[in-house]
Amino acid sequence: GAGVSQSPRYKVAKRGQDVALRCDPISGHVSLFWYQQALGQGPEFLTYFQNEAQLDKSGLPSDRFFAERPEGSVSTLKIQRTQQEDSAVYLCASSLFGTIYFGEGSWLTVV
Amino acid sequence: TQLLEQSPQFLSIQEGENLTVYCNSSSVFSSLQWYRQEPGEGPVLLVTVVTGGEVKKLKRLTFQFGDARKDSSLHITAAQPGDTGLYLCAGVGQFYFGTGTSLTVIP
> pLDDT digits over B26-67, tens only?
888 888 999 999 988 999 999 999 999 999 999 999 999 999
| Each residue's pLDDT tens digit, B64-107 | 999 999 999 999 999 999 999 999 999 877 678 999 999 999 99
The whole-number average pLDDT for the span A5-25 is 98
**pLDDT at residue number B34:** 95
B24 touches chain A (CB under 8 A): no
- Say if residues B101 and B7 touch (Cβ distance below 8 Å): yes
Query: What is the arithmetic mean of pLDDT over A13-30?
Result: 97
Q: What pLDDT does B56 receive?
A: 97
Distance from CA of B88 to the nearest CA of A (A): 7
* Cβ neighbours around B67 below 10 Å, total: 11
Choose from B31, B41, B49, B95 for mutation: most chain A CBs within 10 A.
B95
The answer to whether B2 contacts A42, with C-beta atoms less than 8 Å apart, is yes
B43 touches chain A (CB under 8 A): yes
Contact predicate B92/B30, CB 8 Å? yes
Task: Please state, in angstroms and rounded to a whole number, the distance separating the CA atoms of residues A18 and A58.
Answer: 21
- pLDDT exceeds 60 at position B2: no
The tens digit of pLDDT for each residue in A30-76 reads 999 999 999 888 999 999 999 999 999 999 999 999 999 999 999 99
Cα three-residue angle A74-B85-A8, rounded to 5 degrees: 30
Determine contact, residues A106/A11, Cβ cutoff 8 Å.
Answer: yes
